Amino acid sequence: MDRLDLTVNGQKRQMATDAAHTTALDWLRGNGLTGCKEGCAEGECGACAVLVAQSDGTGGTTWTAVNACLVPIAALDGQEIVTAEGLGSPESLHPVQEKMAVAGGSQCGYCTPGFVCSMASEFYRRDRRADVEGAPHAQHGPNEHDPNEPDPHEHGPNGFDLHSLSGNLCRCTGYRPIRDAAYALGDPDADDALATRRDQPAPEPARTDLQAADGRFVRPATLADTVAMLAEYPTAVLVAGSTDWGVEVNIRGRREPLVIAIDRLPELRALEFGDEFVEIGAAVSLSEVERFLAGRVPMLAELIPQFASRLIRNRATLGGNLGTGSPIGDAAPALLALGARVILASAEGDREVELSEYFTGYRTSVRTPGELIRAIRIPLPLADLTGFHKIAKRRFDDISSVAVGFALDIQGGVVHDARIGLGGVAATPLRASSTEALLIGRPWNAQTAREAAASLGGEGTPMSDHRASAEYRSIMMSQAMLKLFARPTAQSTAQMGVGA
């Protein structure tokens, strides 16, 4: 097969393509849709944002904004895409385009189509109005957040979540006019085509097998087909959300003979909140995980808003985050603290591995070439006190220098169990086993927290690099412990002398 079938801006297109690694951005621009721009080609600026019709999980469609620079066009075979050109025209502006123009939200205009697509995604979010201040968070979980930190969900009077624009950068306008435009948006008209489209199902995944000069891109229909293929071609590259893979292709020039798409495999898209564990399919996007959990796993409710930007989270998966084996991935420290297990699938069947035993070295793991991550299981009940601390140069949309996940069971004022996950302080994510041992059986008071903080600062083997020095990383681990202790009550804050 050398042809892709897509619906772009409402029109069906059958497009010949000769490249298995061509990004959606290059393909769209090559076909005349030059509204979407390339600013960075690595998911940082949002100039390339477009809308993709995705399932809302209840039989309808949600217009999801994604970075077209990271997604291979082959991964969108059979899907529906809307670009800024498809939203409106100079003669008939879309409400989002009109508000941007009126508010003065565009100067050179380079970033504008991307902003408009991210904004349109939020404009069409069904539960947007439920998110006005004081109303329950239909999408994002509880409203509570650490009062010492900026709120990761800042809503306008129309419920618009400003952080839906967190993946879009503008170098000339300044962000206030853009925010004014977002907060001035009303609701879609009754005859708005994209609003009406939400009531219909999103397209099913296509069975793609694109043989091109630079490689082959395959989307198998089932997990059985996928693992059979992996058994035959163990060096094939798996791609889920493509937020890491897209960077490899664009910036590092990676080309592989065989790429296997797993992001739509039903077996990797499970979401279950059972009695004994929470199961999260490896290919569920972080935005979907956040919506599904709605704050029921507080550690993840803290983590997800700090993970990249909304554009990235709309595609990034937990399977991909663990699949890279990166020592600075954000999911591992949180999942280690939650005592998570990884379900690995292969042609031989499933096996379950403790995440604490999963990583074996720098970007290596116990996963064999014929295996993929099918799901992540978080045992229940959850610990009483959890916390996720990401230390980065920017509060949002940045890679961690250090990340710490805490899960403490405190009964009658005594620490009964403690799990601490660390990222960014060794060649692998790891558990802070000495500090955990120190905590268990001790009263949860200022003295214990101080001793644990000192111990935590000595965990791992932090290095100095362009993000942070080794000393800074150690100090930040200690601080994270003190912040955890300071968090629950004002009394403990005073006891510690924090902020004095």
Ligand X SMILES: Cc1cc2nc3c(=O)[nH]c(=O)nc-3n(C[C@H](O)[C@H](O)[C@H](O)COP(=O)(O)OP(=O)(O)OC[C@H]3O[C@@H](n4cnc5c(N)ncnc54)[C@H](O)[C@@H]3O)c2cc1C
Instruction: Point out which residues bind ligand X (CB under 6 A).
Output: 42-44, 237-245, 247, 262, 282, 307-308, 312, 315-317, 319-321, 323-324, 329-330, 372-373, 399
Tell me the closest approach of the beta carbon of residue 43 to ligand X, in angstroms: 3
Q: Bridge partners of 20?
A: none
Tell me the closest approach of the beta carbon of residue 211 to ligand FES, in angstroms: 27
Q: Residue 52 interacts with ligand FES (CB under 6 A)?
A: no
Tell me the closest approach of the beta carbon of residue 139 to ligand FES, in angstroms: 23
Q: Bridge partners of 55?
A: 61
Determine the longest span between alpha carbons in the chain, in angstroms: 70
Tell me the closest approach of the beta carbon of residue 496 to ligand X, in angstroms: 29
Binding mask 2-21 for ligand FES (x = CB under 6 A): --------------------
Q: Residue 69 interacts with ligand FES (CB under 6 A)?
A: yes
Q: Which is nearer to ligand FES, 251 or 437 (CB)?
A: 251
- By C-alpha distance, which of 410, 396, 421, 417 is closest to 489? 410
- Which option in ligand FES, ligand X, none does residue 111 bind, with CB closer than 5 to 8 A by kind? ligand FES
Helical pair 286-293 and 298-306, crossing angle rounded to 10 deg = 150
- Residue pair 56/42 in contact (Cβ under 8 Å)? The answer is no
- Residue pair 28/81 in contact (Cβ under 8 Å)? The answer is yes
Size of the site for ligand FES (CB under 6 A): 23
Token reading at 275: 């009695």
- Which option in ligand X, ligand FES, none does residue 55 bind, with CB closer than 5 to 8 A by kind? none
Nearest-angstrom CA–CA distance, 437 and 419? 9
Tell me the closest approach of the beta carbon of residue 6 to ligand X, in angstroms: 20
Q: Which is nearer to ligand X, 181 or 308 (CB)?
A: 308
Q: Which is nearer to ligand FES, 110 or 233 (CB)?
A: 110
| Region of 272 on the Ramachandran plot (φ > 0 left; ψ -120 to 50 alpha; else beta) | beta
- Which option in ligand FES, ligand X, none does residue 170 bind, with CB closer than 5 to 8 A by kind? ligand FES
Q: What are the angstrom distances between the C-alpha of 499 and each of 146, 423, 471?
A: 15, 26, 21
- Residue pair 340/380 in contact (Cβ under 8 Å)? The answer is no
Tell me the closest approach of the beta carbon of residue 18 to ligand X, in angstroms: 23
Nearest-angstrom CA–CA distance, 194 and 53? 10
Nearest-angstrom CA–CA distance, 307 and 396? 7
Q: Which long-range contacts (CB under 8 A, 24 or more apart) does 102-109 make?
A: 102/181, 102/184, 103/177, 103/178, 103/180, 103/181, 103/184, 104/173, 104/177, 105/173, 105/177, 105/178, 105/180, 105/181, 106/173, 107/172, 107/173, 108/171, 108/172
- Which option in ligand X, ligand FES, none does residue 48 bind, with CB closer than 5 to 8 A by kind? ligand FES
Q: Residue 488 interacts with ligand FES (CB under 6 A)?
A: no
Token reading at 7: 């619906």
- Which option in ligand X, ligand FES, none does residue 52 bind, with CB closer than 5 to 8 A by kind? none
Q: Residue 67 interacts with ligand FES (CB under 6 A)?
A: yes
Nearest-angstrom CA–CA distance, 160 and 184? 9
- Residue pair 286/330 in contact (Cβ under 8 Å)? The answer is no
Residues 127-186 that bind ligand FES (CB under 6 A): 170-173
Tell me the closest approach of the beta carbon of residue 387 to ligand X, in angstroms: 17
Q: Which is nearer to ligand X, 372 or 438 (CB)?
A: 372
Q: Residue 314 interacts with ligand FES (CB under 6 A)?
A: no
Helices (H), 442-500: 446-456, 470-486, 490-496
Token reading at 346: 């292969």
Tell me the closest approach of the beta carbon of residue 100 to ligand FES, in angstroms: 10
Tell me the closest approach of the beta carbon of residue 234 to ligand FES, in angstroms: 31
- Residue pair 219/206 in contact (Cβ under 8 Å)? The answer is yes
Q: Which is nearer to ligand X, 81 or 316 (CB)?
A: 316
Q: What are the angstrom distances between the C-alpha of 300 and each of 35, 140, 251, 402?
A: 35, 11, 30, 17
Q: Residue 38 interacts with ligand FES (CB under 6 A)?
A: yes
Q: Which is nearer to ligand FES, 48 or 283 (CB)?
A: 48
Q: Which is nearer to ligand X, 77 or 455 (CB)?
A: 77
- By C-alpha distance, which of 389, 403, 401, 405 is closest to 464? 401
Burial class (CB in 10 A: 0-12, 13-18, 19+), 399: middle
Among 24, 28, 33, 48, binds ligand FES (CB under 6 A): 48
Q: Residue 23 interacts with ligand FES (CB under 6 A)?
A: no
Q: Which is nearer to ligand FES, 117 or 376 (CB)?
A: 117
Q: Which is nearer to ligand FES, 36 or 336 (CB)?
A: 36
Binding mask 74-113 for ligand FES (x = CB under 6 A): --------------------------------xxxxxxx-
DSSP letters of 181-238?
A: HHHT-----TT-HHHHHTTSPPPPPP-EEEEETTEEEEE-SSHHHHHHHHHH-TTPEE
Tell me the closest approach of the beta carbon of residue 404 to ligand X, in angstroms: 14
Tell me the closest approach of the beta carbon of residue 48 to ligand FES, in angstroms: 3
- Which option in ligand FES, ligand X, none does residue 39 bind, with CB closer than 5 to 8 A by kind? ligand FES
Tell me the closest approach of the beta carbon of residue 180 to ligand FES, in angstroms: 14
Q: Which is nearer to ligand FES, 48 or 301 (CB)?
A: 48
DSSP 258: E
Write out the residues near ligand FES by the rule CB under 6 A.
38-41, 43-48, 67, 69, 106-112, 170-173
